[in-house]
Amino acid sequence: MAAFKLSKEQKIGLFSILTLVSLYIVVNYLKGKDLFSNRNTYYAIYHNVEGLTPTGPVYIRGLKVGTVETIEYNATNDNFTVTMKLKNQYAIPADSKAQSYSADLLGTKAIRIDMGDSGQFLGNKDTLATSSQGGMIEMLASEFIPLKDDISNLLSTLDSTLANVNSMMDQQAKDNISQALKNLNATLANTAKVTGTLSQNGPEITQIINNVKEITAKLDTGTTSLNRGLENMAQISDSLKKADITGTLNSLKGLLDQLQNPDGSIGKLMYTGSLHNSADSLIREIEKLVDNINKNPKKYLKISVF
């Protein structure tokens, strides 16, 4: 049997077909289409598909499960039919919704399948219920518009208030405010000078503070001694308070009265002159006797030797 041979033209044609098929597969792969897996087709109806494009991703709980195939406009119903291709391994409950939402700040839209909890599931080429979520820029704009109005009102009120204040203030009040600001600047300058002076005299101030601390310590020590002396005086005062000073004074007064009484024994001794004269005469006689003994000791003292 003769070998099957391809002509040069047939080889070129076969190579071109293989190249086109490979290019088609590569292009669809880059678009996110998997030509070698089974996928189901689902439809979704939207009134606005701004930011949504073919080849856009379809997610289920953050996982990409398919892509947007086509977007077709229905002139009769004035809406858009979006065709999606999803992997058939995902069972979608019948009450699920295909929500269009902003995938980034640039306004690019994607579709998110919000899974329902129905016991029935959608089949191939069924239509999902839809919902749309505003873009991030639209939500920020909706939040800032009321704030913008409030700021405008506030600025208008502030402008009116300042105008009223300016109309109420005469030139004298303005001059007073200007003078007050000048005085405040001068005060701040003086404060800065005082602070600089204190900084320069820091060592001397520190020495003064140390001296004050030493004096305070000495005063503390002196206070301790003074407290001890006061305590001793308090003890003496308590002892004197407890002593019978009144009785002692009365006894002393009675003794003085007896001494001053000329009729008493001691008074007679103190007030009678004869006792004094007798004592004086006795002392004189004793002095004479001693003098005679000194002059003539043999007369009064006899010494015998055995």
The answer to whether residues 132 and 217 belong to one domain is no
Amino acid identity, residue 65? Answer: V
Closest CA to 138 of 167, 107, 110: 107
Instruction: Write the pLDDT tens digit of every residue in 118-169.
Output: 999 999 999 999 988 865 566 565 666 677 777 877 787 877 777 776 666 6
Q: Is residue 43 part of a domain?
A: yes
DSSP conformational letter for 90: S
Q: Give the bridge partners for 121, in sequence order.
A: 93
The answer to whether residues 38 and 132 belong to one domain is yes
Q: Give the bridge partners for 70, in sequence order.
A: 83
Query: Which secondary-structure segment (H or E) carries 82?
Result: strand 79-87
Using DSSP's 3-state secondary structure scheme, residue 39 falls into: strand
Q: What domain count does the chain have?
A: 2
Residue 289: its pLDDT value, please?
77
| Domain final residue, candidates 213, 243, 273 | 243
Q: Is residue 256 part of a domain?
A: no
Q: Is residue 227 part of a domain?
A: yes
Q: Is residue 8 part of a domain?
A: no
Query: Which secondary-structure segment (H or E) carries 171?
Result: helix 171-200
| Domain final residue, candidates 119, 139, 159 | 139
Q: Is residue 77 part of a domain?
A: yes
Q: Is residue 221 part of a domain?
A: yes
Closest CA to 114 of 134, 131, 96, 127: 96
Please answer whether residues 51 and 102 qualify as being in contact, where contact means their C-beta atoms are separated by less than 8 angstroms: yes
Amino acid identity, residue 17? Answer: I
User: Half-sphere exposure of 252 toward its Cβ, with a 13 Å CA cutoff?
Assistant: 6
Residue spans of the chain under pLDDT 70: 1-4, 28-37, 134-145, 165-170, 240-245, 259-276, 298-306
Amino acid identity, residue 249? Answer: L
Residue 306: its pLDDT value, please?
46
- What is the rounded distance in angstroms from the CA atom of residue 4 to the CA atom of residue 91? 50
Range of the structural domain that residue 112 is part of: 29-139
Residue 264: its pLDDT value, please?
64
The answer to whether residues 42 and 130 belong to one domain is yes
